[in-house]
Amino acid sequence: MDLLRPEIQPYAWGSHTAIAELQGRPAPTREPEAELWMGAHPSAPSGLDRDGAATTLDAVIAKDPERELGEAVAREFGGRLPFLLKVLAAGKALSIQVHPSRAQAEIGYRAETEHGVPGKRRNYVDDWPKPELLCALTRFEALAGFRQPGDAAAVLRGLGVERLFPVADALADTGNLKGALAAILEWPADDRDELITEVAERLRNVGSPYAQVAADHPGDIGLVAALLLNYRVLEPGEAVFMPAGGLHAYLRGTGIELLANSDNVLRAGLTGKHIDVPELLKITDQEAEVPLVIGRPVNASVRAYDTPVPEFALYTVEPTEAGTGLPGEGPRLVLCSEGSAILRRPTETVKVARGESVFVPASDGQVTAAGHGKLFVAAPGDLSY
């Protein structure tokens, strides 16, 4: 078992307090801290010490994939750890985005590589899917999945912005949410600023939670696109699962995010980064459901967050003093979010305190956790999916 040195991503939408306070560092921080990455993604692998030397988790796994991942996981995922565990701390709205399926990612990555598409213009930075699960640590606001077409049309018309009436009427007649999204994202440049200004003013006047999106990203057409999405509030312990094709955006709060080991993102607004509307529409599935996931009790100490993907499974553990078996099989990442715990196997003991994380290789087998606190455990999912 290895204590990890996670990587912090200082994206502009991050929090100045949440990650620092979790790790016991002074807060507020000078720069925003958006994500704490625990895993082996090549762009920001976690550091660790192995055999007396500093190294990274991706290097350790590459040296002996079967020992670290187990034979089945190494074979299924090409010798890569299939998941990435994050603490996500949103101080303001993230981009509206969607993620591809495995087949879409493989095709898109291959095509962009063959055509030499440069990095900042790429939609596909790797050939993996990126389903994800977000479990709230604090009250967490999100836009998650499309509204029903009739509801979305009523919202657009209800604003009283006449420019949007044709979009609302077409949506009510056809139910084509992707068509409405395209109409908004491709709004004529000479009228765009006026539309955004009028929508933002109406939202402020009615006290809509979407008004904060306007404040976070002034002048961004994504504000209007956001009205097509469901506004959801998660209480601590509640989660949402984002499948391939599900359009979403995170707005405010701190949560645990578990996702396939990918960084493929196609954006629809609330960003200064590259937006490829035709490719976005090809990937977006207006029927994709973004379900609320409630932890299922496994026993008195363990809850499982069930998701229909092979790349990952998420559990929470509130260990007893006598010890609780660590759930999951194969390689696992363990994050302590409250208190502290002792992880034990027959030949080794590791203490993990609040804000600390541990990699448990598959070769370690059964591990128990003892103490008073709360652990998040990431493991491979059901490989039969």
| Residues labelled as active-site residues | 267
What gap in Å lies between CA 250 and CA 89, rounded to an integer? 10
168 CB neighbour count, 10 Å cutoff = 19
H or E element in which residue 255 lies = strand 248-260
Q: The tokens 């956790």 sit on which residue? A: 369
Which stretches within the chain are classed as H helix? 18-23, 57-63, 65-69, 71-76, 102-114, 149-158, 165-174, 177-185, 189-206, 211-216, 222-226, 277-283
Helix and strand totals (H; E) in the chain = 12, 22
349 CB neighbour count, 10 Å cutoff = 11
95 CB neighbour count, 10 Å cutoff = 21
Q: φ, ψ for residue 187 (rounded to 5)? A: -60, 140
Q: For residue 109, give the 3-state DSSP assignment.
A: helix
Concatenate the DSSP letters of all residues of 340-358 into one string: EEEEEETTEEEEEETT-EE
What gap in Å lies between CA 43 and CA 32, rounded to an integer? 19
Q: Name 118's Cβ contacts closer than 8 Å, sequence gap at least 6.
A: none
What gap in Å lies between CA 146 and CA 99, rounded to an integer? 15
275 CB neighbour count, 10 Å cutoff = 19
